[in-house]
Amino acid sequence: MKRTGKILAGAIALATAFAVQAPIAQASIDCDTVRMIVPWKAGGGTDRLGRGLAVALEKVSGKSVIVDNISGASSVTGSVKAINAKPDGCTILMNGSTEMVAFMTFKQNLPIDLDKMKYVGAFYNTPTWLVSHKDRGYSSFEDFAAKAKANPGTLTIGVGGATGALMIMASGIKGYGDLDVTIVPYSGGADLKKAMLANQVDAGVIHSPVLLKEVKAGMINVLTAGGELTNIEYPEIRNVPTLESLGIPVKVAAIRGIFVPVTTPDEVVAELAGWLESAIKDPEFIEFGKKFGYPPVWINGEDFRKGMYHDKEAYKKIYEAYIKG
Amino acid sequence: MIEGLIGGFGDVIQPWNLLLLFLGTGLGLMIGALPGLSSPMAIVILLPLTYTMQPLPALLTMIGVYVGTKLGGSFSAILLRTPGTPAGACTALDGHPMAERGEAGLALGYATLASTFGGVFGWVIAITFIPLLATIALQSGNADIALVGILGLLMVSSFVRGSMLKGLIGVLLGLLISTVGLDPVDATSRYTFDIVDLMSGIPFAAALTGFFGIAVVFSDLKLVGQRSEKIVAKVNLALPSMMDMVRRWRPAVIGSLFGTGIGAVPGVGAEGATWIAYATVKRQSKNPEAFGKGEPDGIIAPESTNNATTGGTMVPMLTLGIPGDGSTAIMLGALVLHGIEPGVMLFQSNSDLVYGILAGLLIATIFMFLIAWRAIRMFIFVLQQDRSWLFPFVLLLATVGAFATVNSVYAVYIAIFFGVVGYFLEARGFPVVTVVLGIILGPIIEANLRLALVISHNDWTTFIDTWPRQLIVALIVLVLSWEIYSGTKDARKGRRSKIGISD
């Protein structure tokens, strides 16, 4: 009898403990583990940021956050899987804005579209940049453009991937800048990085802060960027002129954010957004971001969404004018 | 350099670091031996566990797994004819016939000794020639890589069993399969039939799981119920002696050189290197007829190659921040997570860590030897079991492994498809390895050939404008002429081509 009493008391204590905790936990996302789909192979830039973010999200949400790399078809395979998941906030997609939009520009009839998902928010902004090996002797975009104009058809711009945002940016530079240059589509970022270090192309379009270490070492020059570099962890290049300031209307910056299925209830989206916004303020994550090249930045879901629609229109224009056919 | 390395060994010898390295290596051997599970997967899974560690122990754990899987993959290749990892596939050619002859102990022993030799020798070459290898890694242009790929493809004749024609059909089939997906330069969809998954092509690791896992089960089904009597009856636990190994130094040295050199070139990988080394050793052998029937040299060449690649891949990873294969890509990612930015300055900015990693690589190779040598007799136990309960395991692991290549069920369908295709090809006497060689080398050749032409503005002389390229082209011409000469000579004498593993 006594024992039963003890067990009962224990049970009541436990129940009370849960009851006290419940309001804090805000039960709208009801799972212990959040699966964050990163639609790229492990080891790449998006994957590295995703793994850093997962650690920060675990801290603020109290749930375990696992990274699931589902790669293929320029991230479409994994993205489709994520936005068709149960809309309970337990499966989320982490991807970069530019790669999704660029692939949609190149390939029609994809099982993914901007209106098939909801935008939780974004946390990291990396403009693309045009860089060149110092031995090529270009210290500014003007140098490069002048050489290209003087030697039509001879200069090369390397990009990572034939269907990505880097291709859009390079084609925009070529088209709007009226430069007769050859675009060399390497299989991916690592191959392009190698070609840049080996000085095998005149210039390369790559996501900043890739090669930042080499820029700091004076091996690589930054000529121009597809967005402001004001936040980059290297003050010396913060005022590199953007393409827009040079009169070339091309803006390409990969913004990494979180997406969920379009049917996800608003309170779930809000809770996820709350986690993401607090994760960005986590000192360790800020430190991680800075080591990577930039401090994280918060962009709310609505602005993130608008930005991607805007990019889609802009990319389409470049594609129709300078890539198609 | 020497002081740095001594410091590196000093760091690794800390008990905690040694323990992690040892555990990593043991785990790697096990994961490698399980068909379908590979080193990149294991390292990704370990990644979160290493977040809280210091960078060196974290990297040492991964290095252990990386080294261990290279040998583990060949254990299942020898015992089951199903390689545990793509880089172990080549070892099945001679390893499994030896095991069937009852010499599993010898086969596993040769694999272990050759892997250890390759690992150590590759390490020594990598350390000694870091500046040279870093230059090769950096300066190898698309034209060079394309030419090496073509040379590798010519080696296909070494794997042809009986009919050269069937071999050529096989390799062309492989090349054809490798064209599926988006064209690497113009992004035109090829054979994708509007299926999104097919846009990034056939995941070759999944296709390999089909060819070597599922197809092997299909063709060995007839063995079910026999309890492998013919093997059990004469199973020989004898291990090779060190002297046997010393006598066979040539394939080991050739393999190590290929492994280190090709490993250092980003984007070729151990998978291709093993086949090229095997073919070269066979070509140079006094009795090439023995290859494919259980010739120890046919185990030693690929095994020394795949472990030697571990030294090679470290060079671009540590000097340039460029991954040589999937595993090193994840290790580079791990460095970033630990707040260390890999790149050209890593040797200067984090020299302690770099030397620690290099020291760890050598110690992991030694651990691999110690663990594997003890474990050989346990592994042979697998061979003595009835196939009827081995096959479900192989099929299960092949399915899991195929899934894990892209974390998608689609890859399982690919594996099953190629399992069926592989079964019929083998039943009709087509050497499946030639198809695999086409699948592995096709994308490498295509992408690099086309990029080389884009860069040179469609000037084909780019392929002969430096002396290394001229050398490779000369080799290609030489091999090709020899094939044509010996082929026509054989034809005139009215006998079938004796090149390869005649059946």
Nearest-10 Cα torsion for A264, A265, A271, A277: 60
Q: Confidence band (pLDDT; 50, 70, 90) for B187? A: confident
| B367: in domain | yes
Nearest-10 Cα torsion for B311, B316, B321, B325: -70
Q: CA–CA distance from A166 to each of A130, A224, A231, B174 (Å)?
A: 10, 13, 21, 31
Whether chain A has a CB inside 8 Å of the CB on B52: the answer is: no
Please report the pLDDT score of residue B380 as a whole number. 79
Number of other residues whose CB lies within 10 A of the CB of residue B86: 24
Which H or E element spans position A256? strand A253-261
Compare CB distances from B344 to A71, A213, A291 and report the shortest one's residue: A213
Which H or E element spans position B203? none
Whether chain A has a CB inside 8 Å of the CB on B477: the answer is: no
Compare CB distances from A72 to B47, B197, B454 and report the shortest one's residue: B197
Q: CA–CA distance from A24 to each of A18, A27, A59, A62, A168 (Å)?
A: 10, 8, 15, 11, 46
Compare CB distances from B266 to A42, A68, A194 and report the shortest one's residue: A194
Task: Quote the tokens at residue A37.
Answer: 């789909």
Query: Which residue(s) pair with A131 in the sheet?
Result: A204, A222
Q: Does the pLDDT at position B128 exceed 70?
A: yes
Between A22 and B215, name the one with better pLDDT: B215
Please report the pLDDT score of residue B225 as a whole number. 64
| B496: in domain | no
| Residue B67 contacts residue B21 (beta carbons within 8 Å) | no
Classify B234 as helix, strand or coil. coil
Whether chain B has a CB inside 8 Å of the CB on A198: the answer is: yes
| B502: in domain | no
Whether chain B has a CB inside 8 Å of the CB on A58: the answer is: no
| B394: in domain | yes
Q: Confidence band (pLDDT; 50, 70, 90) for B235? A: low
Please report the pLDDT score of residue A6 as a whole number. 58
Whether chain B has a CB inside 8 Å of the CB on A243: the answer is: no
Please report the pLDDT score of residue A19 as a whole number. 47
Q: Which residue has the tokens 């040892």?
A: B22
Q: Which residue has the tokens 């030897």?
A: B369
pLDDT digits (tens, 9 = 90+) for B337-361: 888 878 877 888 888 999 999 999 9
Tabulate helix, strand, coil % of chain A (nearest 5).
50, 20, 30
Q: Confidence band (pLDDT; 50, 70, 90) for B496? A: low
Phi, psi for residue B297 in degrees, rounded to 5: -60, -30
Q: Which of residues 146-175 of A touch B (CB under 8 A)?
A: 153-154, 156, 162-163
Residue A174 distance to chain B (closest CA, Å): 16
Compare CB distances from B197 to A68, A73, A217 and report the shortest one's residue: A73
Q: Confidence band (pLDDT; 50, 70, 90) for B289? A: confident
| B501: in domain | no
Q: Does the pLDDT at position B503 exceed 70?
A: no
| Residue A196 contacts residue A211 (beta carbons within 8 Å) | yes
Please report the pLDDT score of residue B500 as a whole number. 40
Please report the pLDDT score of residue A11 as a whole number. 53
User: Tell me, what DSSP letter sits at residue A242?
Assistant: B
| B483: in domain | yes
Q: Which of residues 107-126 of A touch B (CB under 8 A)?
A: 107, 109-111
Residue A239 distance to chain B (closest CA, Å): 23
Say which amino acid occupies A4.
T
Chain B hits for A135, Cβ within 8 Å: none
Residue B80 distance to chain A (closest CA, Å): 30
Q: Which residue has the tokens 């198809």?
A: B435
Q: Mean pLDDT, to the nearest integer, of B405-422?
A: 91
Compare CB distances from B337 to A48, A156, A163 and report the shortest one's residue: A48
Q: Which residue has the tokens 């149960």?
A: A86
Say which amino acid occupies A247.
G
Least confident of B69-73, B197-201, B387-391: B387-391
Least confident of A9-18, B257-266, B377-386: A9-18
Output the CA angle A134-A136-A137, nearest 5 degrees: 70
Report CB contact under 8 Å: B343, A187.
no
Whether chain B has a CB inside 8 Å of the CB on A288: the answer is: yes
Q: Which of residues 102-141 of B touch A (CB under 8 A)?
A: 137-139, 141
Please give the mean pLDDT across all residues of chain B.
Answer: 87
Q: How far apart are CA A308 and CA A314, in angstroms?
A: 10
Residue B198 distance to chain A (closest CA, Å): 7
Nearest-10 Cα torsion for A256, A262, A268, A272: 0
The closest of B249, B370, B252 to B302, measured between CA atoms, is: B252
Please report the pLDDT score of residue B228 as a whole number. 53
Number of other residues whose CB lies within 10 A of the CB of residue A209: 22
Q: Mean pLDDT, to the nearest integer, of B53-75?
A: 94
Range of the domain at B413: 2-490
Q: How far apart are CA A94 and CA A253, in angstroms?
A: 16
Say which amino acid occupies A90.
C
Q: Does the pLDDT at position B465 exceed 70?
A: yes
Say which amino acid occupies A56.
A
Whether chain B has a CB inside 8 Å of the CB on A213: the answer is: yes
Ranges in chain A, pLDDT < 70: 1-27
Compare CB distances from A197 to B44, B329, B344 and report the shortest one's residue: B344
Least confident of A122-131, B59-68, B116-125, B128-137: B128-137
Q: Which of residues 394-453 of B touch A (CB under 8 A)?
A: 406-408, 410, 447, 451
pLDDT digits (tens, 9 = 90+) for A290-320: 989 999 999 999 999 999 999 999 999 999 9
Q: Which bin fits B407, alpha (ψ -120 to 50), beta or left (φ > 0)?
A: left
Q: Does the pLDDT at position B477 exceed 70?
A: yes
Q: Tally the domains of chain B.
A: 1
Q: Does the pLDDT at position B382 exceed 80?
A: no
One-character DSSP codes across B31-63? HHHSTT--HHHHHHHHGGGGTTS-HHHHHHHHH
Task: Quote the tokens at residue B341.
Answer: 């930015």
Compare CB distances from A43 to B187, B320, B332 and report the shortest one's residue: B332
| B371: in domain | yes
Number of other residues whose CB lies within 10 A of the CB of residue B503: 10
Chain B hits for A193, Cβ within 8 Å: 320-322
Query: Best of B196, B204, B346 to disrupt the A interface by mutation (most A CBs within 10 Å)?
Result: B196
Nearest chain B residue to A37, by CA? B407
Q: Which residue has the tokens 């393999």?
A: B255
Whether chain A has a CB inside 8 Å of the CB on B269: the answer is: no
Question: How many beta-carbon pairs under 8 angstroms link A with B?
Answer: 144
Q: How far apart are CA A162 and CA A159, in angstroms?
A: 8
Phi, psi for residue A51 in degrees, rounded to 5: -70, -35
Within 8 A by CB and 6+ apart from B502, the residues are: B161, B162, B289, B496
Beta strands, E only, B246-331: none
Q: How far apart are CA A186 and CA B44, in angstroms?
A: 25
The closest of B320, B316, B129 to A217, measured between CA atoms, is: B320
Chain A hits for B200, Cβ within 8 Å: 71-74, 77
A91-96 and A253-261 beta bridge pairing? antiparallel
Whether chain B has a CB inside 8 Å of the CB on A55: the answer is: yes
User: Tell me, what DSSP letter sits at residue A240?
Assistant: P
Please report the pLDDT score of residue A321 as a whole number. 95
Phi, psi for residue A118 in degrees, rounded to 5: -110, 150
Q: How far apart are CA B498 and CA A35, in angstroms?
A: 56
Phi, psi for residue B429 in degrees, rounded to 5: 80, 15
Peptide bond before B48: cis, by omega within 30 degrees of 0? no
